[in-house]
Structure 1
Amino acid sequence: MERFEQEFLTKLDELVSIESVYHDAEATSEAPFGKGPAEALNCVLRWGEEDGMIVKNVDGYAGHIQLGEGRGEDAASVLVHLDVVPPGPGWTKAPFALTEEDGRLYGRGVLDNKGAAVAAYMALKQIKTEGVALKRPLRFIAGIDEERHWACMDHYFQEEPQPKTGFVPDADFPVITKEKGILDVEVTQPLFNIETSAPVFLQSLHSGERENMVPAAAEAELVMYDAAELERLYKLLEHMLAADQFKVEAHGSVLRLDVYGTPAHGAAPDLGDHAAVKLGQVLEQLPLDQAGLTFVQKLLAEWGDSTGRLLGVQKETSDAVLTVNAGVVRYDASTKQAKIVATVRAPAEVPLAELRAQLDTWAERRGMDLRVLDELPGHSLQSDHPLAQMLLDVYEGHTGERPAPLAIGGATYARVLKDGAAFGPLFPNRENTAHQADEWMYFKDLLLCTKMYEDVLQRLGQAENL
């Protein structure tokens, strides 16, 4: 067991050390998502080659490792992603190095999704080592554009057949049978009648890097034409400055504000503290120029409401509520443009066409342009489906518990399967640190995941009716 654990840590360390963040400037025909994601894919496929399994790299977009002979359409699959979101601010550990401390493993991707990828791979390797007889092949499929627009899976399944069944270790236990529908949108607002002579002039506001991350930092540049307003601003910020939530730098009449919040996954915005929204709540108390005030009170405030109520799209079902996360916020008086990029996640039962129509109505009423960047319909697997019940059986067999299946706001590769469900790696009552600073998981949890994934893969490989 000691040797197994060391190999697990070595593989995870190698994978975490790869900065597999999408970089458009680095994209080539061999590495369509940039150098880091390509390196992560090649790393994992190399493991498969070294361990004597069938390996295929599909044009640098995605790849698979197969155990057992047979056609791809007959395979049972486990799907993982090897790309990660940018680290963002606030880390106390090195984000792209595996740190082990008090039973915890730290690093970007340890939870989302490199830790589970290693667990699933080690489970597959164990089945090979033990010589388990399989009735159909098992495929470990790895994508590298999951955190963005899933172009990896689109291309992979143009070239490879779609497995009928499988699981995705990229969410929570015990099993996820419902995933929300997703609209990623960009809203732009042209800035007119900019008044540079207002007592306080908003020159710029920047926050966030990805629509699926709650921004942990925001910065604004103001021109303070009235010294009295500067004093009032310091009073407004007094308690936040003391708590290190704001930083102020003055250069003559130009003031830079840096605001700090708490990052979180855009699928669960209420777990974070949105830095740009926090900044907007301060700015709207100042006598801003009209363009700046309109941006703060309309565009930022309405898209900063995570319930969607201010946009007129609030929705709730028995097991899910709609959420909104404005992950990218930009305001620039010099270019006369403002922009928000957001992810809207609605219960699986809500038709996305209906949601689009409501957002179009909002944009038309506000005189703004709204463009849909990406659209993913909701995914649902009946809770009494044999796959869902088998996953619950495995979970109960290893934990002694059998909770009800869950619905989530995140999007997993389960959507690309006819019959698919997400299964771990996050256990109930564990802290969800995906997309956060100092992302971590307990090593013992990942080892338990490995045992459960081996159990699931064996059952899938020996079943004919799943």
Structure 2
Amino acid sequence: MRLDHEIDNLKDELITAVQTCVRFNSVKNTKNAGPGAPFGPGIQQCLEWTLALGEKLGFTVRNFEGYAGHIETGEGELLGILGHLDVVPEGDGWSVPPFSGQIVKGRIYGRGATDDKGPSLAALFAMKAIENAGLTFNKRIRLILGTDEESGWGDMDYYKQHSDLPKLGFAPDAEFPLIHAEKGILHLELSKSFNPLPHLIRVQGGERANVVPDLCQIELQNLEPQEVADALGSFKFPEGVTAHLEAQTSPSTLKLTVKGVGAHGSMPHLGKNAVIYALRFLETLSLNPEEQNLIRWLNQYPGAGFSGEGFGVTLSDEPSGKLSLNLGVMNLTSEKVSFVIDIRYPVLSKYDDVIDPIQEIAAAQGYSLMILNHQKAHYVPKDSQVVKALLSAYKEVTGKDGEAFAIGGGTYAKVMEQGVAFGPTLPGEPEIIHCPDEYISIENLILTTKIYAQALLNLAVNP
């Protein structure tokens, strides 16, 4: 059975809902946290609006003090759909306002359009289409809406303390056909203090560990401007990376801006890390020995390669492939350096095999190491019920066979024992999550809704 007609009837309402949802600036903002808004007012408003939409569509809703919410229908065993409404910072390089929800050439643009507001609403409207068709769920379908997925998952910690959690379900927050294995995720901060440096005032880039930095700001002092300009002129940046030397703000101070290409932190090879290229350029300047050693060490260890080559953690396995490492945040001043790296390690690798070599190398150079976040790897066998049912839904709607595969990204599928990631990005589509001009095409939005509806039919509706 297909519900194409019911979903086509909901098309305009769904498009408007996605546009409206994208317009909420739901970047985490704990500085303005308050009652009902633990992660800031933008996230609170987005959550409350989405729950109100669910209630308007006829479902039961619940708000967990702003940490999360859920929209529910049906009775029986719990089947979860876990999405999120928080987004990463918008970053630079947009051709349209990043929270506009603007439609251009059949695409809805805005931060969160694909990650993860659009597909979360697609799941909601898939639930509505099934009820509009007069069908009855034989399971309790619960769309859980998280608010801290892009940071520390504090929303899920709170939710698990205040509600039962589905064991079976999917996260509409990745790619089709289906993801059955997700690498372990480790965010580490390394820091070190030192005596004041003579030339380096500031090197700052990146806002989140899980985003490839597209901008790096540098401030230098007591260097000859012409020497820096000449070095910049002879340095070969790769295509897509630019550097601009600004006018002097004082006789002894220079400012330099390096622009790269952003990407999701789990796929650092798809971006061009502005921090890394800034550090490589700095190594060509006539800095003092302490500064040269500092920059050389940063280039040799966190700045080397995409697979942990610098730290000697180039792990790999058959189900999930290679480890990845992203230098996501850099804050260097004349008296201290701190940086954050995002590591995605293979599902069959051990945590100690990752952390021990890094700790040893950091300690040898006097760096303190702090573990900011750790999510264990997640793996659901390909022959499981949920994998078979969802791949069947994908084929029924698209007409294409699909194989389950592994990713480096971490989704809320990890929260469920039998959870997988399912859509919305189709095979062959460009990777635009966490990038400027994030969008979801209307065609893909409607197709995704039809796939999700079929998935719910396969898993939770009597034949």
Q: TM-score, normalised by structure 2?
A: 0.94
* Equivalence for 2:113: 110
The whole-number CA distance in structure 2 between the counterparts of 1:348 and 1:291 is: 39
* Equivalence for 1:345: 344
How many residue pairs match? The answer is 453
* Equivalence for 1:459: 458
* Equivalence for 2:38: 32
Q: CA deviation at 1:462?
A: 2.9
Whether the aligned pair in 2 keeps the contact of 1:41 and 1:82 (CA below 8 Å) is: yes
Equivalent position to 2:167, from 164, 167, 174? 164
The whole-number CA distance in structure 1 between the counterparts of 2:148 and 2:449 is: 24
* Equivalence for 1:327: 328
Whether the aligned pair in 2 keeps the contact of 1:19 and 1:96 (CA below 8 Å) is: yes
Counterpart check, 1:405 vs 2:411: no
**SS at the partner of 1:382?**
coil
Offset from partner CA, 1:8-52 (integer Å, 9 cap, x none): 111011100000000111111311000111111111110111122
* Equivalence for 1:250: 247
The whole-number CA distance in structure 2 between the counterparts of 1:366 and 1:184 is: 20
Greater CA drift, 246-255 or 85-94: 246-255
Whether the aligned pair in 2 keeps the contact of 1:191 and 1:291 (CA below 8 Å) is: no
Q: Measured at CA, do residues 313 and 128 of structure 1 come closer, stay the same or move farther in structure 2, by a change above 3 Å?
A: same
Whether the aligned pair in 1 keeps the contact of 2:179 and 2:422 (CA below 8 Å) is: yes
Q: CA deviation at 1:127?
A: 1.6
Q: Measured at CA, do residues 278 and 164 of structure 1 come closer, stay the same or move farther in structure 2, by a change above 3 Å?
A: same
Whether the aligned pair in 1 keeps the contact of 2:220 and 2:253 (CA below 8 Å) is: yes
The whole-number CA distance in structure 1 between the counterparts of 2:65 and 2:279 is: 44
The whole-number CA distance in structure 2 between the counterparts of 1:411 and 1:450 is: 22
The whole-number CA distance in structure 1 between the counterparts of 2:225 and 2:135 is: 77
RMSD: 1.9
Whether the aligned pair in 1 keeps the contact of 2:397 and 2:454 (CA below 8 Å) is: no
**SS at the partner of 1:387?**
helix
The whole-number CA distance in structure 2 between the counterparts of 1:366 and 1:224 is: 27
Q: CA deviation at 1:312?
A: 1.3
* Equivalence for 2:122: 119
Offset from partner CA, 1:141-160 (integer Å, 9 cap, x none): 10000000101111101111
The whole-number CA distance in structure 2 between the counterparts of 1:234 and 1:427 is: 41
Whether the aligned pair in 2 keeps the contact of 1:207 and 1:275 (CA below 8 Å) is: yes
Counterpart check, 1:315 vs 2:315: yes
Q: CA deviation at 1:244?
A: 7.6
Q: CA deviation at 1:405?
A: 1.0
Whether the aligned pair in 1 keeps the contact of 2:32 and 2:40 (CA below 8 Å) is: yes
Whether the aligned pair in 2 keeps the contact of 1:16 and 1:108 (CA below 8 Å) is: yes
Q: Measured at CA, do residues 310 and 49 of structure 1 come closer, stay the same or move farther in structure 2, by a change above 3 Å?
A: same
Whether the aligned pair in 2 keeps the contact of 1:213 and 1:435 (CA below 8 Å) is: yes
Q: CA deviation at 1:57?
A: 0.6
Counterpart check, 1:184 vs 2:187: yes
**SS at the partner of 1:420?**
strand
| 1:355-394 correspondence runs (5 A) | 355-394=354-393
Q: CA deviation at 1:463?
A: 6.7
> Quick one: percent identity of the two aligned structures?
34
Counterpart check, 1:152 vs 2:171: no
Q: Measured at CA, do residues 12 and 293 of structure 1 come closer, stay the same or move farther in structure 2, by a change above 3 Å?
A: same
Q: Which residue identity lines up with residue 15 of structure 1 in the other structure?
A: C
* Equivalence for 2:221: 223
* Equivalence for 1:93: 96
| 1:272-291 correspondence runs (5 A) | 272-291=271-290
Q: CA deviation at 1:403?
A: 2.7
The whole-number CA distance in structure 2 between the counterparts of 1:232 and 1:115 is: 47
Q: Measured at CA, do residues 243 and 7 of structure 1 come closer, stay the same or move farther in structure 2, by a change above 3 Å?
A: closer
Q: CA deviation at 1:356?
A: 1.7
Q: CA deviation at 1:291?
A: 3.5
The whole-number CA distance in structure 1 between the counterparts of 2:274 and 2:333 is: 18
Q: Which residue identity lines up with residue 64 of structure 1 in the other structure?
A: H
**SS at the partner of 1:214?**
coil
* Equivalence for 2:85: 82
**SS at the partner of 1:37?**
helix
Unaligned runs of 5+ in 1: none
Counterpart check, 1:56 vs 2:62: yes
Offset from partner CA, 1:141-184 (integer Å, 9 cap, x none): 10000000101111101111121201111011111010000111
Q: CA deviation at 1:208?
A: 0.5
* Equivalence for 2:230: 232
Q: CA deviation at 1:211?
A: 0.4
Q: TM-score, normalised by structure 1?
A: 0.93
The whole-number CA distance in structure 1 between the counterparts of 2:451 and 2:232 is: 55
The whole-number CA distance in structure 1 between the counterparts of 2:289 and 2:263 is: 32
Q: CA deviation at 1:459?
A: 2.3
Q: CA deviation at 1:88?
A: 0.5
Offset from partner CA, 1:221-253 (integer Å, 9 cap, x none): 11143455235324325x769988111113223
**SS at the partner of 1:247?**
strand
Equivalent position to 1:135, from 138, 141, 145? 138
Q: CA deviation at 1:3?
A: 4.9
Q: CA deviation at 1:101?
A: 1.6
Whether the aligned pair in 2 keeps the contact of 1:312 and 1:362 (CA below 8 Å) is: no
Offset from partner CA, 1:384-406 (integer Å, 9 cap, x none): 11111111111111122223211
* Equivalence for 1:424: 423
Q: Which residue identity lines up with residue 420 of structure 1 in the other structure?
A: G
Equivalent position to 2:47, from 34, 41, 47? 41
